[in-house]
Amino acid sequence: MIVPSTFPDVEIPDVSVPAYVLRNASQYPDRPALIDGLSGDTLSFGQLAAYVDRVAAALAERGVQPGDTVAIFSPNTIYYPVVFHGIAAAGALSSTINSLYTPDEIAFQLKDSNAKILITVSPFLDRAKAAADKQPVDEIIVMDGAEGHVSLRDLLASKAPSPKVQIDAANDLVTLPYSSGTTGLPKGVMLTHRNLVANCAQCEPLFQVTDDDRLIAVLPFFHIYGLTVLMNVGLAGGATVVTMPRFDLEQFLTILQDQRITRAYVAPPIVLALAKHPMVDQFDLSQLRILFSGAAPLDADLAAACAKRLGCEVKQGYGMTELSPVSHCIPEGLDLPPGSVGIGIPNTESRLVAVETGEDSAEGAAGELWVRGPQVMKGYLNNPEATAATVDSEGWLHTGDIAEVRDGAFYIVDRVKELIKYKGYQVAPAELEAILLGHPKVADAAVIGIPDEEGGEIPKAFVVVVPGEDLSADEVMAYVAGQVAPHKKVRAVAFIDAVPKSASGKILRKDLRGR
């Protein structure tokens, strides 16, 4: 059964992402667009639009052509949107890199995305250089400046003419974030200008962000949730976006209070802290009207406890990188039971399909959630097999999540996909398994996610030790930790005689979860 959105369709303009997000900037040039939550440094909407134009001109002057990839490796700063939209305005595409990544992980993304330039910040320069040693780029630009490197200030000083590029919004890529999808190693998700513009236009009537709003941007802009919902929807609505480079509870609460934040988009671990940490009572959060959680499932009781403590609405939504990312949400002002991810956003169709038969689920029965709409990705970069396995010939994206519909509201109840979600970050079991198999004492290994109150899920490794060898859980965890970003660490280990596998050699993760 196909479930259309109950909201009226919205018009999706045929324009580039920068043209859409900055379309009203000239109407309020002096209003603050971005504020650094720690330093107080501010960019007005007029400055933002002018800087985006100069970055685009400078990149074109440096040889960046439409269709080239420029990687961004940076925490949230007020200049991240400048760089992102400058790249897009030059007709190029950005590949946003997780700011916690190791040099090996960065090098993989540089190579896979065919990045021409890497833009970073001075505290990340050591890792950026180490990655570029493994996978060379034409240039490393350091936003805040470093000896021997062009800075953002240098780019902004460019006198080159504004690039005149023709952007085909429906087909030209604007960004290439990386996702593990439902299975396997991280893959480049090809998102077009139309994908991102559509998702902004679809979200706007539901989120109702206005120029009276002040948003806190603690979720990273390199993550599609932060990129679309905080950065682009926030700026397109004329709101002031207050940035934080990383989550620290005291700093977060201080900014909520001192910057009089009206809406916070967060992940479940932050909801947990706001619901339970005693420090929260020391701050005046009365301006906060809405707390919106995404990136991982939010427990219904936790949502209710947080709403009661803060005296604000706590809402939840659903999406994935491949959906730009939003497909379902609970709109402001609509009261749905805690635990629901809401209803399909405008221009979006949903469908529940029985995993065993591939037929539509019976009414009231659970099934894999399929989504169709203008926010569905173009595909995975250089991976037609994975694309075909995820988006079918009729345009339905198979999410890998099992959902139910009750009284028109969607609930995520289980998953088909292998992906682990730790504090909202994706962890691919296949990536960790490949690392574990590199240990000389490991004969075989499998990784699954297990429930964890603080992280949502944590990676647990099941390890088969080479006969005659001794290996401890601590050794296993330390070995993996030395090669991955912190969110990918193995945090539990069990030793087994053999990894359960199907006749075709596929790991039977369900059997491991049954243990």
β-bridge pairing 420-422 and 425-427: antiparallel
d(CA 97, CA 120): 10
Average pLDDT, the chain: 95
Q: Which residue has the tokens 């060379």?
A: 136
Residue 79 placed within a domain: yes
Domain span at 498? 420-513
Residue 46 structure tokens:
């007029």
Tens-digit pLDDT profile for residues 79-102:
999 999 999 999 999 999 999 999
Residue 90 placed within a domain: yes
CA gyration radius for the chain?
22
The helix/strand/coil state of 367 is strand
Residue that is last in its domain, among 122, 150, 166: 166
Q: Taking residues 59-69, what's their average pLDDT?
A: 98
We report the CATH number of the domain holding residue 425 as 3.30.300.30
Q: Taking residues 444-461, what's their average pLDDT?
A: 93
Q: Which residues pair with 71 in a beta bridge?
A: 95, 118
Q: Which residues pair with 215 in a beta bridge?
A: 241, 263
β-bridge pairing 326-329 and 313-319: antiparallel
Residue 227 placed within a domain: no
d(CA 482, CA 228): 32
d(CA 335, CA 218): 26
Please give the tally of structural domains in the chain.
2
Residue that is last in its domain, among 147, 166, 185: 166
Tens-digit pLDDT profile for residues 138-176:
999 999 999 999 999 999 999 999 999 999 999 999 999
Residue 100 placed within a domain: yes
β-bridge pairing 32-36 and 240-243: parallel
| pLDDT at 68 exceeding the cut of 80 | yes
d(CA 9, CA 265): 24
Give the chain's length: 515
Residue 333 placed within a domain: no
Q: Are 118 and 142 in contact (CB under 8 A)?
A: no
Residue that is last in its domain, among 166, 198, 214: 166
pLDDT of residue 504: 64
We report the CATH number of the domain holding residue 51 as 3.40.50.980
Residue 134 placed within a domain: yes
Q: In sequence order, what E strands does 338-393 have?
A: 343-344, 349-353, 367-372, 379-380
Q: Are 447 and 490 in contact (CB under 8 A)?
A: yes
Tens-digit pLDDT profile for residues 338-383:
889 999 999 999 999 998 889 999 888 999 999 999 999 999 999 9
Residue 459 placed within a domain: yes
Residue 372 placed within a domain: no
